[in-house]
Amino acid sequence: MTLIAFLFAAVMGKLIYIQIINSKNLQIKALDQWTRDIPVVGERGDIFDRNGELLADTFTTYTVYVRPVAVKDKYHTSLALSEVLSLNREKLFIKMLSKVSEITVKKKVTKKEMSDIINYGGVSGVYFSPNISRYYPYGNFMTQILGFTNIDGVGQSGVEAYYNKYLQGKNGYILTETDLVGRELDDSITRYIPGKKGDNIYLTIDYYIQQFAENAVENAFVKYNAKSTSCIVMNAKTGEILAMAQRPSYDLNNVPRDNVVELFENSKSILVSNVYESGSTFKILTTAMALDYEVMTREHSLHCPGYRIVDGQRIRCWKTIGHGSLSFDEGVQNSCNCLFMDMAQKIGAKNFYKGIEYFGLTKKTGIDMSGETSGLVIPYKDVKTVDLARMGFGQAIAVSPIELVVASASVLNGGRLMKPYVLDRVERDNKTIFQNYPIERNKTISKNTSKEMREVLELVVTDGSGRQAGVNGYRIGGKTGTAQKYENGVIAHGKYLSTFLGYAPAEDPEYIILMMVDEPQGGLYYGSIVAAPYVGEIFKNIFEYKDIPPSTLKPKEHFAMPLLEGLTVAQAKNKLYNLGLYYEIVGEGEKVVKQIPIENSFVTTDNIVLIELG
């Protein structure tokens, strides 16, 4: 009796386990045997600019499936699918003869193609699953920021990948009752479980400012037949990225998936992923360090013979014939390399390295974009005095453009090093579930030094090499940059990186812009001529768009460009000085053989004159 009672209890326990405890799992297994499910891709969240302009949308396409056991006439069905979908009929027919339960025929089928299959007649065992395809209303616009998705709607680059966890929708299913071999039952019931849309995200990008930047990089790319052009516009106070554009690029609705090299090169943001010897734009940081460490003041003066001897090496100023006697402000305005070599040596290696650490050049900025790299700096233990001198004017140190912009913004905003970011907020069902805020990483310089730097750099635009970034009636500051490029450790002849970094309004900077033209062709390569005008153009557009009133600056005088060709260097300099025009000199010789702008061109005191000697 005891054995019988034990066996009865065991059976009852098993029944309780099966019917109550494990019933849910068994129901799921049974449902899986009775049904065939087709996934319904959840709609991907939309991407908007800061003002609600739609930047990434979705539209419905279909995936076509075939269940071979449910196909009554395999030849006819394979023929219909191959004709409508432009597929190989023989390969499709062979797949239908296989024992597999389900075949994916084609993805991203249009609604018209689906209708043509249905209306073909005599087709059986064919099923359609709706899914979502990405659409970018502006095509080749913000390509590297937005990124793209794969055929399954998963982010692969840019914001699409970085914030995929928010954008990705939740899949649903279409469930159909079948027999044991997968044939749909005559009285079957189809159940539809809808997918759930992903979250919408709003960027810090301003569509209109982005458009200004896109136009600038496109025009510079074409005009100078450059290797690449790029531009960042950032809020200098908060770190919000307002625009980020580059060329070459591609249309996000026509991603070059068949060319892996092109896809990789043009998908990454060179403003975040690449590092460069930035040349004279780096001098902003050297100047700020010199003033903040109080190793120099604006009362300092110097003589530039065209070079300095450091560690027994002759390091040339960019103006090989020398600038002569200069004040501190004039040295910055004229971007005299000798002044910045003096600054770096007075600062000293220990403080210089401490400074570049404060400016965030030894680690990533933390921008919410994939592929960010950090600057390349000679290890402190290995740096020599000659290296330090070169670093002072932007050589022997490489930084990413975003690092340079963020560090320079701290020089202008009172010494606050901000974390840059492109995501403003995330919304779900019209409610904000995540909001980004400005983050201050650390202090770089004092407020007093920042004020002095704004004054010094404004003079670069009003009286120095940055004149072509000026906008009539507005106060703008900045710094030009013309960096020679290196290949295999030696200077690459004729290859330059032309840059301009500008900010406005000069008295209380809100906008900071970096424009880069890599390897401009055609003989012009100075940042003052190649890059600065595009920054001025962007600023002009921003002032109009934001309805920013002009300051009380006097309007620029207009006049005809005089003839300089044939004059001696001294005669040409004297004539330009009397007209209030800034000039750049190319070559060495006694007389002017070429000038830009040409004689009788309509110019203002904003123009920079290029003089070629011979």
So which residues are the catalytic ones? Answer: 280
The type of residue at 515 is M
Q: Using CA atoms, how far apart are residues 440 and 495, in angstroms rounded to an integer?
A: 37
DSSP string over 68-91: GGG-S-HHHHHHHHHHHHT--HHH
Nearest residue to 62 (alpha-carbon basis) of 44, 85, 46:
85
3 state SS of 311:
coil
Q: Using CA atoms, how far apart are residues 541 and 233, in angstroms rounded to an integer?
A: 13
Q: Using CA atoms, how far apart are residues 340 and 350, in angstroms rounded to an integer?
A: 17
Residues ≥6 apart with Cβ < 8 Å to 398: 275, 276, 277, 278, 375, 376, 377
Q: Using CA atoms, how far apart are residues 44 and 63, in angstroms rounded to an integer?
A: 16
3 state SS of 147:
coil
Q: Please say whether the beta carbons of 74 and 96 come within 8 A.
A: yes
b (16+ CB within 10 A) / e for 516-549: bbbbbeeebbbbbbbbbbbbbbbbbbbbeeeeee
The type of residue at 180 is L
Q: Please say whether the beta carbons of 357 and 380 come within 8 A.
A: no
Summarize the chain as % helix, strand, coil (round to 5). 35, 30, 35
Nearest residue to 401 (alpha-carbon basis) of 440, 368, 361, 437:
361
Nearest residue to 510 (alpha-carbon basis) of 366, 402, 414:
414
Radius of gyration (C-alpha) of the chain in whole angstroms: 33
Residues ≥6 apart with Cβ < 8 Å to 146: 47, 55, 56, 136, 158, 159, 160, 252
CA angle in degrees (0–180, nearest 5) for 559-564-569: 125
CA within 13 Å, CB half, 93: 12
The continuous run of DSSP H or E covering 536 comes out as helix 532-545
Residues ≥6 apart with Cβ < 8 Å to 340: 283, 286, 287, 392, 393, 394
Q: Using CA atoms, how far apart are residues 269 and 370, in angstroms rounded to an integer?
A: 9
Give the tokens for residue 460. 């670069």
The type of residue at 570 is A
Q: Using CA atoms, how far apart are residues 605 and 585, in angstroms rounded to an integer?
A: 17
Helices 283-292, 385-392: axis angle to 10 degrees equals: 110
- Give the distance, in angstroms, between the CA of residue 288 and the centroid of all CA atoms in the same chain: 27
Q: Using CA atoms, how far apart are residues 72 and 70, in angstroms rounded to an integer?
A: 6
Residues ≥6 apart with Cβ < 8 Å to 306: 316, 317, 319, 320, 321, 322, 323
DSSP string over 184-231: BPTT---EEE--B---EEEES--HHHHHHHHHHHHHHHHHTT-SEEEE
